[in-house]
Structure 1
Amino acid sequence: MTNEKLKPTLGTLHLWGIAVGLVISGEYFGWSYGWGVAGTLGFLVTALVVAVMYTCFIFSFTELTTAIPHAGGPFAYSRRAFGPRGGTIAGIATLIEFVFAPPAIAMAIGAYLNVQFPALDPKLCAVAAYFIFMTLNILGVSIAATFELVVTVLAVIELLIFMGVVAPDFSLANFTRGGWAGQDQFSLAAVGGMFAAIPFAIWFFLAIEGAAMAAEEAKDPKRTIPKAYIAGILTLVTLAIGVMIFAGGVGDWRALSNINDPLPQAMKGVVGEGSVWLHLLVGIGLFGLVASFHGIILGYSRQFFALARAGFLPHGLAKLSRFQTPHRAVLAGGVVGIAAIFSDGVISLQGMTLTAAMITMSVFGAIVMYIMSMLSLFKLRRSEPNLERTFRAPGYPVVPAIALVLAVVCLIAMVWYNPVIASVFVVLMVIGALVCGLSRRQGDIAPDAAFGEA
């Protein structure tokens, strides 16, 4: 197992940048598809419930991350709690989450660039983004994490600028008009819309858990990771609610509910097409998309790496480059993402746009992983009471139970409203499990203490 150990170089600020950067594109696009099915008020309710789930989840997940600082993240926790089968479920679900999110973000990057430069082909821009940021990830985690921190800070500043510029034109009447699934009054249809909007509310926070996959590369992870996670979830909840409310109150929110660039279009209605503020939003707004895109590439590469190093995927994916980065794992996820981009307009799932379909697929992976992680937390509390836990989930067992119950409700609702994508997800999980089983039978892997093995 030579050349398969990651080097710890990341501090608290880097980890905060990764945690927030992984997610912050969710504030720029994707969530507005939820307005199309739930309306502004219905989606606000859904987003608040999902925010509660994520807050409870992160406070609980941090216990696992600090107790078992491993590049596999949820894969490592579930394998330690439930053995190879548990690890397989969590590992493949996490891969699906992190591999299918980047194509959606790359397409949004293309859409934002097309606003600024109409002659550019959004699809080619999306592919170019893959090549640029896969290269940056291969060049070294310290460089990648520093870049992630810088673009994340710029993205946060830009969201605050957006809210400040549109605030004078905010109207509560605009936000609430037709706010219950297109109706002014609450109804049973509004309830259905709120459940259907769950994937797009989750998109606000999706992938924050990816910072756990940088745990092996963190300096003093038992101290730095809790600080980064707690500050990260508070940052994201504040920004998500603020952006959603201000964007929905500056004009006709229906015009923003099925597009990849809702913030530039919302600002355009306030300041005009030639305004310097609009160009600033589009220019700096790209940093938000880039931060998530870049960070999720880091996340999926570490998941491929961890599964391969443990013998669950072909072992070649665990090899490190001379920059001490899992370059083969970076490229593997890129192949899948670029193929997904070129399938836009060729393959249709439930009549959704590519972006909406990729978001929903990614969310399926995330929810299954959240459920496995919370089950692992409960199992390890019973089976390994003496495991060193420098951070303990506050309010245990209530807080993790809230996260677990809400995650299960989300999964049931998503299956009900997205049966075709749910079926594709199950097929991908089965294929992934078969590959893992075949790789484990053919491999000769040394025991790993992270999994409780001697």
Structure 2
Amino acid sequence: MGHDNKPGLKRTLGKFHLWGIAVGLVISGEYFGWSYGWAQAGTLGFLITTFLIATMYTAFIFSFTELSTSIPHAGGPFAYAYRAFGPVGGYIAGFATLVEFVFAPPAIAMAIGAYLNVQFPTWDPKMVAVSAYIIFMALNLIGVSIAATFELLVTILAIVELLVFMGVVSPGFSIDNFVANGWAGSNEFSGEAISGIFAAIPFAIWFFLAIEGASMAAEEAKDPKRTIPVAFIAGILTLVVLAIGVMFFAGGAGDWRELSNINDPLPQAMKMIVGNSSGWLHMLVWLGLFGLIASFHGIIMGYSRQIFALARAGFLPKSLAAVNSKYQTPHWAILAGGIIGIAAIFSDNLIVIAGQPLTANIVTMAVFGAIVMYIVSMLALFKLRRLEPNLERPFVAPLFPYAPAVALILAVLSLVAMVYYNFLIAVIFVVLFALGFVYFKATHSSDAMQEGNEMLQVPTEA
């Protein structure tokens, strides 16, 4: 049975909704996570890192849009790699995407806990994070998801709040504060500063991580050939502007070293300017939660779809593809990702990796998955150009082959640097990949392969 004969998802999303999803999935990255990059590279060094990563993402999104519009499938990168390279390629992209989407939510949940801790100091951030998981897994389990219009609303509120933050701290902004000790804690550019620039790569990626998740809504988009390119391109431009603005204004508010290695740099930066009791600070905390929740809920939906799709295709235990008879939701997929995320929240009680804070390690693990997926996606783009020259391509990657080559080269460079500076996390990633691959090889049947080929309309040459 071909993919076209399968029940389709209702096409209700316009380009503005898709822009809201693309930015909403990522917007929490503007609120926290990036300041760990300051701890590695300093403000000036991290600016260089962010410029390199923003270049990579811009080239990647323009290239990834070709794949999304040519193969508008809810499987996203898994579908593109499967079509280009067959089941093994599908496994690599699917596993990498799964790691990205399973490990990003616990980091966001910890940030939710940290933000609420500013308002309620007696609340344990970890318990708040677990509570967030329970609430949003329950909403997904019973089929009550945040509608695309609400996702768009909270995304706009989150953007407005970032602009308010910049406006409130701007009177106290000082470029001297921003550049002081800006090279890995020193005023001098040195070998240590260069090392810090590369070590900070995961935290610059966090500014943009998961924007590609909007491709998973391709089957729900009105006229995806037109709406997806607009949403992706407008989304990456929005995020680049916000990333630069947030960094500059936070770094110029006072001693930026007090804002590194924490989960709530924006409220703490605002405290430097307006004090602890300002109404602006309380508004930042509450509206800032909209940005975190938009990303948290959206990525939970993303990981559940990935687990469900991989299990349905025989890449994970079939039980994870079960759909609840009452609510028609993939309940075991939702719960499985949540259990892993909650375990990650408490993993610092079991192991300390490289002396870094827990959130930094979780962010790094998610970024490993993302970078591997980006590499496979760009390779799939090149392969499909050669394998299927007549494939309908409503959006053609500009500056081909140069733009995707830039994205691919910078992604490989990022992966090499991340392995070098985060070797133990890289080992954990590889071990998880190997265990999953052993399961895949042991259980993936020829029937599942044939079904996958038909579902994704894989040419016989693949």
Shift of 1:440: 1.3
Matches of 1:220 and 1:323, distance apart in 2: 29
Structure 1 residues 417 and 20, CA, compared in 2 at 3 Å: closer, same or farther? same
Corresponding letter in the other structure for 2:434: V
CA distance in 1, matches of 2:161, 2:295: 15
DSSP-derived class of the 2:133 partner: helix
The answer to whether residue 300 in structure 2 is matched with residue 294 in structure 1 is: no
- Shift of residue 29, structure 1, vs aligned partner: 0.4
1:41 maps to 44
Going from structure 1 to structure 2, the CA distance change for 1:227 and 1:320 (only over 3 Å counts) comes to farther
Hey, what does 2:435 align to over in structure 1? 431
CA contact (8 A) 1:7 1:324 kept: no
Matched, 1:390 2:394: yes
Q: Which residue in 1 is equivalent to 2:58?
A: 55
Please list the CA deviations of residues 245-278 of structure 1 after superposition, one character each: whole Å capped at 9, or x if unmatched: 1100010000001100000000001001000000
RMSD, aligned CA:
1.9
Cα contact 1:30–1:203 (8 A) shared by 2 = yes
SS of 2:262's partner is coil
Structure 2 letter corresponding to 1:292: S
Cα gap change, 1:202/1:226 in structure 2, threshold over 3 Å: closer, same or farther? same
CA distance in 2, matches of 1:332, 1:276: 40
2:139·2:145 contact (CA, 8 Å) conserved in 1? no
**Bigger shift: residues 210-219 or 406-415:** 210-219
2:112 alignment partner in structure 1? 109
Match of 1:123 in 2: 126
CA shift at 1:10, angstroms? 2.5
What is aligned with 1:163?
A: 166
Give me the whole-angstrom Cα distance separating, in 1, the residues matched to 2:314 and 2:123: 43
- Which TM-score applies when normalising by structure 1? 0.96
Counterpart for residue 454 of structure 2:
448
More moved, 272-281 vs 132-141: 132-141
Distance 1:170 1:118, change over 3 A: same
User: Among 257, 270, 273, which residue is 1:267 paired with?
Assistant: 270
Letter in 1 for 2:369: G
Measure the CA separation in 1 of the matches of 2:221 and 2:184. Answer: 44
Q: Does 1:215 align with 2:218?
A: yes
CA distance in 2, matches of 1:142, 1:103: 19
**Alpha carbons 1:138, 1:323 under 8 Å: kept:** yes
- The residue type paired with residue 385 of structure 1 is P
- Matching of residue 311 in structure 1 with residue 314 in structure 2: yes
Percent identity, please: 70
Alignment of 1:229-268 (within 5 A): 229-268=232-271
CA contact (8 A) 2:102 2:337 kept: yes
CA distance 1:317–1:147, change in 2 (3 Å): farther
Separation (CA, whole Å) in 2 of partners of 1:437 and 1:217 = 32
5 Å-filtered alignment, 1:165-204, equals: 165-204=168-207
- The secondary structure found in structure 2 opposite 1:250 is coil
Which residue of the partner structure matches residue 382 of structure 2? 378
- Distance change >3 Å, CA 175–CA 25, structure 1 → 2: same
Measure, in 2, the Cα distance between the counterparts of 1:436 and 1:303: 15
Checking the alignment, whether the CA contact within 8 Å between 2:105 and 2:341 is kept in structure 1 is: yes
Q: Report the secondary structure of 2:234's partner residue.
A: helix
Partner deviation per Cα, 1:63-121 (whole Å, 9 max, x = no partner): 00111111211111111111111111111011011101111110110011111011211
Cα separation, 2, equivalents of 1:18 and 1:406: 25
Sort the Cα spacing of 1:133 and 1:442 in 2 relative to 1 into closer, same or farther, 3 A.
farther
Deviations 1:356-404 (A, max 9, x none): 0000001001000000000000000011001111011011111000000
Q: What aligned pairs does 1:143-154 form with structure 2 within 5 A after superposition? A: 143-154=146-157
Query: Which one is further off, 218-227 or 355-364?
Result: 218-227
Could you report, residue by residue, the CA deviation over 1:327-380 in whole angstroms, capped at 9, with x for unpaired residues? 332222111111111223332211121100000001001000000000000000
Supply the distance in 1 between the matched residues of 2:99 and 2:377 (Cα, whole angstroms). Answer: 16
Sort the Cα spacing of 1:4 and 1:335 in 2 relative to 1 into closer, same or farther, 3 A: farther
CA distance in 1, matches of 2:441, 2:14: 36
1:303-326 deviations in Å (ceiling 9; x for gaps): 112212222222333344455543
Contiguous gaps of at least 5 residues in structure 1: none
How far apart, in 2, do the equivalents of 1:25 and 1:421 lie?
23
Give structure 2 stretches of 5+ with no counterpart. none
Q: What is the deviation of 1:449?
A: 4.1
2:80 aligned with 1:77:
yes
